[in-house]
Structure 1
Amino acid sequence: MQPWYDLASHRQWLQGETVNLLDFGRNVVHPDGGAGVLDDNGQPILDQPVYTWISCRMVHVYSIGALLGLPGSKPVAQNVLDGLSTRLRDADGGGWFSSIGADGPEADKSAYAHAFVLLAGTSATRAGLEGGRELLDDAIAVFEKYFWDEQAGKLVDTWNTDFSELDPYRGINANMHGVEAMLAVADVTEDPIWLLRAQRVVDFVIDQAKGHDWQIPEHYDATWVPLLDYNDDRRDDQFKPYGVTIGHSLEWARLILHLEASLDKLGLPHGDFLDASRSLFRAAVDKGWHVDGEPGFVYTTDWEGVPVVRGRMHWVAAEGVGAAAALWHRTHEDEYAEVYAAWWDYIDVHLIDHERGSWFHELDVENVPAAIVWPGKPDLYHAVQATLIPRLPLTPSLASAIAEGLIK
């Protein structure tokens, strides 16, 4: 059977899903500035905080919508960016608040949020948004001053509001999105230092995964010693769950191949990234997919591969199709085309809300919509990217590739 990647009809379906998703979120702009958390019907939940990371993700996807020529996308991106550049920006202390709610700004500044500011800045720049390049330049300055640890070759995680106190916790999640952002910054600025920084992070992650049966420790102390029991008492934490996060293994499998392609393009040396990508992918699938009697990826496992949080998160399936697409692009091996098709079938049957739009963000162990970890349908980032990655080359990054007319 002809792989779906080669079918114009499949690419047309992906484009249709991109359009559907962006149409669902078109009311995301919060009246006070930034992007609201979306409910099940695509309306902003006004009594929820406005999060910097969600606002950045919405700037990113609607900038891509503008680059795709989808009417209405650019005004959404511009309006959210305006809130990101004003309300969410700390004009006194520098950087961006993680969120702002009814009681004021959240009292920390995180690498996770600032990585997404970088990503938003690159996409806004590519889309020609007013203030896009200024946002990117500002984000680069803050990122280099406070979050990139040159000696460690990785990102620190969390500062207090005035950048006077650094939390000893170190995390892989922020570094993962840091790598994604650094790839995009390298494309926009044409400065290879960002690829070399990303490479240092990736080399560390690969080394850690090799030592843990191709499972990635997520949590570390200030000296980068893994904390394997971290949050054992809060196993379903939204950002720092205990154990192995299956979706992150899939996401890393993809990002490693994007970095490989970017380094190869410039003739820069690197390790065996393809083997690492394959190994991470295989371990995630073996331990995460359809392992408890029902289709779908479990959220987390313990270090023996036993499921811990068995709920199905939409973003894990999205990263599954993205990783399978990247590995197929890299190898053209049938196994990746086969799981890619199977996972889109799963997404269509269980995750896409064919009545109200977008994707259910969380399902229970029987694939029934749930709201234990993630209520509502907060943002579009993972789902939109899942519809784009199969239609793009491994390099440059998404917005840059679309700006250069490389989408199929």
Structure 2
Amino acid sequence: MTEPLPSLMVPTASWLRSTTHYRWLDHQGLRLLDFAKPSRMKLGFGPLDDDGDLSEGAQPDATLTARHTHVYAIASMRGLPGCLPLAEHGVTALREGFHDARHGGWFEAKPSSSDTSPRKQNYLHTFVVLAASSATVANIRGAADLLTEALAIWEGRFWSEDEGVFRESFAADWTDEENYRGANSNMHAVETCMAVADALDAPEWRNRALRIAERFIHQLARANAYAVREHFDCEWTYLPDFNRDRPTDELRPCGLTPGHFVEWAHLLLKLEAALLRTEGHAPNWLLEDAIGLFEAGIHAGWSRNGTGGLLYTVDDTLAPIVENKPHWCQAEALTAAAALLKRTGHTRYETWYRRIWDFIDLHMIDRRRGGWIQELDAANRSSARVYAGKADLYHAWQATLTPLLPLSPAFAVAVAKQSG
């Protein structure tokens, strides 16, 4: 599939025009897909250890299951053996295993008698909808029904029309709404909204993505020099001390996350492309803010101690909190660089795209045991301070696929059009 006008601006010598680089990306993506296949469990998918075996005491995980379903559904459309059965397995697990038959919605783990107060998180439901959307495009059995139900829950329970964002969490029976508005789960919701809009030809979801971006980025982050604040209460009061005692929390660490600055950057560019493709116009601030976010993320997070890589968190003054370098931060940074290169043709982004891939290649791609090392410490040694083992497939694999596709439509529809 060819990119529209932006592809004409990519320099002739760019890696994004290199057949050899495309083959390398494909090869790395295939390695990741194969490495993650042993994560299949009786119910869904579970976390892998550093060697690619199920972690000791591994339990099925709903977010992992949704992400793996999304990935393997798309991979199945590329003609890759073994991926369709894994996508089907994921859809079945989400429909039958993690689902709350009494109140509707999904739990992170299959409920047991010892679970006294499981909560229903927007973060998880965002990925359930994304998985169902991609699986529907791939014509996976049961996916369309899953998408219908998941969308009804996501829209009916989590979407706040007045605020233009998604609510964060509820008790199992949908009472006790959490007094929190989170940038992380809403950022992923932007991706999912765009995927649903393309899968169902439903522009209202694209407009919701724009409303989320406008609040968290154009209003809040832009006023803070594009340093994205993560934590707010329901009255939109910033919570600077949120999770101060949990600096290595996997989803809501205290402080600011430069990896999210750059992740927002490429999502804004994809949203701009989607609006231009479908509506013929898009707000100018989407490009302006994407550039600002990338620059802010690189400034705040890249090579703060001279060893390369994007660190995990900084405080409000941009002083490092956790200097470890998760793999997903690097993946999102290079995805943003690729998107900006496609959109602007500026050689600065070619330089960053190459620099970030060089860092990943030399420090994170594990050629001995497979997969990507999920986290490095400040000296680029393997670490498990935040993320143990090699559970994640989603971020790394999408980083190998994004450069091969246009900014719009979303992954599943883009691959379906390419394959067709």
* TM-score interval, normalised by the smaller of the two chains: over 0.9
Pick one of 370, 385, 402 that aligns with 1:372: 385
Structure 2 residue 103 is matched with structure 1 residue 90: no
Could you say what secondary structure the match of 1:159 adopts? strand
Partner of 2:225: 213
Pick one of 52, 76, 79 that aligns with 2:86: 76
Structure 2 residue 398 is matched with structure 1 residue 388: no
Partner of 1:259: 271
Partner of 2:376: 363
Partner of 1:175: 186
* Cα distance in structure 2, aligned partners of 1:357 and 1:377: 9
RMSD: 1.5
CA positional deviation for 1:65: 1.2
**Structure 1: unaligned runs, 5 residues or longer:** none
CA positional deviation for 1:28: 1.6
- The 8 Å contact of residues 334 and 353 in structure 2, kept in 1 or not, is answered as yes
* Cα distance in structure 2, aligned partners of 1:285 and 1:62: 31
* Cα distance in structure 2, aligned partners of 1:102 and 1:352: 37
Structure 2 residue 304 is matched with structure 1 residue 319: no
* Cα distance in structure 2, aligned partners of 1:224 and 1:111: 17
Instruction: State the one-letter code of the partner of 1:163.
Output: W
Matches within 5 A, 1:240-319: 240-265=252-277, 266-319=279-332
Partner of 2:39: 28
* Cα distance in structure 1, aligned partners of 2:245 and 2:33: 37
Structure 2 residue 63 is matched with structure 1 residue 40: no
Partner of 1:119: 130
- The 8 Å contact of residues 30 and 46 in structure 1, kept in 2 or not, is answered as no
* Cα distance in structure 1, aligned partners of 2:274 and 2:231: 28
Structure 2 residue 189 is matched with structure 1 residue 188: no
Query: Residues 39 and 102 (structure 1 numbering): CA distance in 2 closer, same or farther, change over 3 Å?
Result: farther
Q: What are the superposed Cα offsets for residues 122-170 of structure 1, whole Å, 9 maximum, x if unpaired?
A: 1101111101111111110000110000011000001111112211111
Structure 2 residue 204 is matched with structure 1 residue 229: no
Could you say what secondary structure the match of 1:308 adopts? strand
* Cα distance in structure 2, aligned partners of 1:96 and 1:331: 41
* Cα distance in structure 1, aligned partners of 2:230 and 2:285: 22
Instruction: State the one-letter code of the partner of 2:57.
Output: D
* Cα distance in structure 1, aligned partners of 2:112 and 2:23: 43
- The 8 Å contact of residues 36 and 46 in structure 1, kept in 2 or not, is answered as no
Greater RCO, CA 8 A, separation 6+: 2
* Cα distance in structure 1, aligned partners of 2:216 and 2:275: 17
- The 8 Å contact of residues 325 and 337 in structure 1, kept in 2 or not, is answered as yes
* Cα distance in structure 1, aligned partners of 2:380 and 2:146: 40
* Cα distance in structure 2, aligned partners of 1:103 and 1:173: 30
Could you say what secondary structure the match of 1:27 adopts? helix
* Cα distance in structure 2, aligned partners of 1:41 and 1:73: 21
Instruction: State the one-letter code of the partner of 2:254.
Output: Y
Partner of 1:49: 59
CA positional deviation for 1:293: 2.2
- The 8 Å contact of residues 170 and 178 in structure 2, kept in 1 or not, is answered as yes
* Cα distance in structure 2, aligned partners of 1:104 and 1:90: 16
Instruction: State the one-letter code of the partner of 2:240.
Output: L
Q: Identity rate of aligned residues, in percent?
A: 39
CA positional deviation for 1:199: 0.6
- The 8 Å contact of residues 45 and 68 in structure 2, kept in 1 or not, is answered as yes
CA positional deviation for 1:48: 3.1
Instruction: State the one-letter code of the partner of 1:85.
Output: R
Instruction: State the one-letter code of the partner of 1:304.
Output: T
CA positional deviation for 1:49: 3.3
Partner of 1:336: 349
Structure 2 residue 77 is matched with structure 1 residue 67: yes
Query: Residues 117 and 291 (structure 1 numbering): CA distance in 2 closer, same or farther, change over 3 Å?
Result: same
* Cα distance in structure 2, aligned partners of 1:126 and 1:99: 26
Could you say what secondary structure the match of 1:405 adopts? helix
Query: Residues 63 and 46 (structure 1 numbering): CA distance in 2 closer, same or farther, change over 3 Å?
Result: farther
Could you say what secondary structure the match of 1:109 adopts? strand
* Cα distance in structure 2, aligned partners of 1:43 and 1:60: 21
* Cα distance in structure 2, aligned partners of 1:236 and 1:100: 25
CA positional deviation for 1:267: 2.4
**Structure 2: unaligned runs, 5 residues or longer:** 1-11
Pick one of 106, 124, 139 that aligns with 1:128: 139
TM-score when normalising by structure 1: 0.97
Query: Residues 303 and 39 (structure 1 numbering): CA distance in 2 closer, same or farther, change over 3 Å?
Result: same
CA positional deviation for 1:102: 6.8
CA positional deviation for 1:100: 2.9
- The 8 Å contact of residues 78 and 419 in structure 2, kept in 1 or not, is answered as no
Q: What are the superposed Cα offsets for residues 91-139 of structure 1, whole Å, 9 maximum, x if unpaired?
A: 1110001223776667000000000011001110111110111111111
Instruction: State the one-letter code of the partner of 1:298.
Output: L
* Cα distance in structure 1, aligned partners of 2:160 and 2:170: 13
Instruction: State the one-letter code of the partner of 1:369.
Output: S
